Structure 1
Amino acid sequence: MKKFFLILLIINVIVSPIYAQLAKNSWLASAGLTYPRFVNVNVTISNTNYGGFLSLQRNFTEHVGLRLTGSYLHFEGEWGTPATTSETNSLSGNLDFIFYLVPCESVSPFLFAGAGVDYRMLTNKATPTIDDNAIAGQFNAGFGLEWELTSNLRLLTEAAYHLVSNSEFDGALGIGEVNAKDSYMAIKLGVSYYFAKGEPSKYCQLYSGLAAEKISQVDYERIEEIIKRYIPREVVKEVVVEKPVSVEKAKAEKWVLVGVNFEFNSAKITPESYPILYDAAKTLLQYPDLKVEIQGYTDNIGSEEYNKKLSQRRADAVKNYLVSKGINPARLKAVGYGESNPIGDNNTANGRAMNRRIEFKIQ
């Protein structure tokens, strides 16, 4: 069980963030399989356990929700010599408070706690005086992960601890429980479907990395004017990010991202570039059939081999950003062309700044 939790934690750390399409409030339904296991009981614990669950959840904000869950669980244990197999079948209903720790991520961790009632049915009980069928209360707590598959569909993984209000859940009375109470763990694997959403949320920061002040002294208006001299007028209106390229013309033209820049001798995107890249991502999401070659270019300072590697890293950085915003990586190809195909004069500062650019070639 410890290995299972460790694997979930490692996966959660290494998965790249993709901002989910959140709503201020929503309804979702979930269903799946459960593996339950006794923790503190008075029978020998068996691995022959199984179960399933259905749940209905209401999220009131991006962080807070309330979930009603119905479950069926089957436990087995052994007692006596020779060993006799006991069975516990449980039908339970639980109401849990949900809190999402990082709701904007594609892998969203959450905590939950609540209470419920359990109707248990015993077979081959170890203590004859215990009723075969009875109702008891229980307390629940645990954590889980929602893995985004689509805007409305999630994969659900969850681990919970349940403390039953008496010592009869396993069919045996004794001293092995916590404060004379039986308890068990339950690991869930299922899917969640958001079937109703309210107003779209503005909670997540869309322009990640955006700074209040420009830290670069490059004259971007001057760069744009130079670019316009080299690109036919009827194309310029389509290729500038503020007026994204149309599908028909895009297939025959290059899409120049004016103002997308990097720190000197680095593939780190400058803060003022993020709004432009975000608009580019929105356009690609609007036209899901378009495939793009992301072309990175540099000026002529440095060796040709080094500039080609640097331009490749910069193209890869733009690709990674677009993927983080939900663009299918299969639609993107990053290629570094180094100092080739200059569109400005490398003998001037403005010309070199113009040559340090990113272009999209629609394929």
Structure 2
Amino acid sequence: MEFNPKKAILIGFTCFVLAGCSANPAQQTPQNIESDQVQTTTEVLDSVVDALMISPHLELKKTDDEALLIEFSNIQAFNFDGSRLSHELQTALIDISKVLMPIPNLRINVIGHTDNLGNAEYNQVLSENRAKQVADFLREQGLNPAFLTTAGYGPAHPIADNRTAKGRAANRRVELMVSF
């Protein structure tokens, strides 16, 4: 299924409107939101999942604390020893940005990872740089920098076997933890 930008924008706008946002969300307070306009966190989360499911490059996992883990399991995000975003990853991040941008006060933690080649200190810095590159790209797409954080875990959390080239490529990745 291909990404449909009109559908994503419509769903994002719907989330924005249903969340009771005014023209300036920074001035929005609980006292001036009508109770029938407010969506629960679960409803917003479900709307975002529905909108993002149209992208074949993403794996979405709801967490116990009503957050959303976005993984890029079908994308080689980075080359060996690199922090430059692949074209595929940029495309997926643009799709995600279009869905998330209209939602006020969401938090995105960008988490970088590496394979296990090289020393641990170097891989830690590389994973942090990968997360920073993704966060910078999301800022360029219009997401609020105040709600973007980064973390790097180096090779500490592999998702594939580091003994194979394919496994190492899968471990060179980023994940987005989105909370509402």
Q: TM-score, normalised by structure 1?
A: 0.32
AA matched with 2:89: S
Residue in 2 that maps onto 1:254: 69
Answer yes or no: is 1:242 the counterpart of 2:58: no
Q: Does the aligned pair in 1 maintain the 2:61–2:70 contact within 8 Å?
A: no
TM-score by length of 2: 0.62
Looking at structure 2, the residues matched to 345 and 249 of structure 1 have their Cα atoms a distance apart, in angstroms, of: 27
**Number of residue pairs matched by the alignment:** 129
Instruction: Give the C-alpha shift of residue 290 in structure 1.
Output: 1.6
Structure showing the higher helix proportion among its residues: 2
Q: State the SS of the aligned residue for 1:335.
A: strand
Which residue type is aligned with residue 142 of structure 2? G
The answer on 1:340 being equivalent to 2:156 is: yes
Identity of counterpart residues, as a percentage? 36
Does the CA-based 8 Å contact 1:254-1:362 persist in structure 2?
Answer: yes
Q: Is the 8 A contact 1:240 1:257 kept in 2?
A: no
Matches of 1:353 and 1:241, distance apart in 2: 24
On the 8 A contact 1:296/1:358 being kept in 2, the answer is yes
Change (3 A) 1:250 1:260: farther
| Paired letter, 1:242 | S
Q: Secondary structure at the match of 1:286?
A: coil
AA aligned to 2:55 is E
**Alpha carbons of structure 1 residues 328 and 248: separation in structure 2 relative to 1, 3 Å:** same
Letter in 1 for 2:159: I
Assess, with a 3 A threshold, how the Cα gap between structure 1 residues 327 and 349 changes in structure 2: closer, same or farther: same
Determine the C-alpha separation between the residues in 2 that align with 1:349 and 1:240: 29
* Larger displacement relative to structure 2 (317-326 or 264-273): 264-273
User: Residues of 2 paired with 1:328 and 1:319: CA distance?
Assistant: 10
Q: Cα–Cα, structure 1 residues 241 and 314, in superposed 2: closer, same or farther, change >3 Å?
A: farther
The two structures, once aligned, show a CA RMSD in angstroms of: 3.1
**With CA pairs under 8 Å and 6+ residues apart, which has the higher RCO, 1 or 2?**
2
Say if 2:76 and 2:170, in contact at 8 Å, map to a contact too: no
Deviation string, structure 1 residues 29-60 (Cα, Å, up to 9, x no partner): xxxxxxxxxxxxxxxxxxxxxxxxxxxxxxxx
The structure in which a higher percent of residues are strand is 1
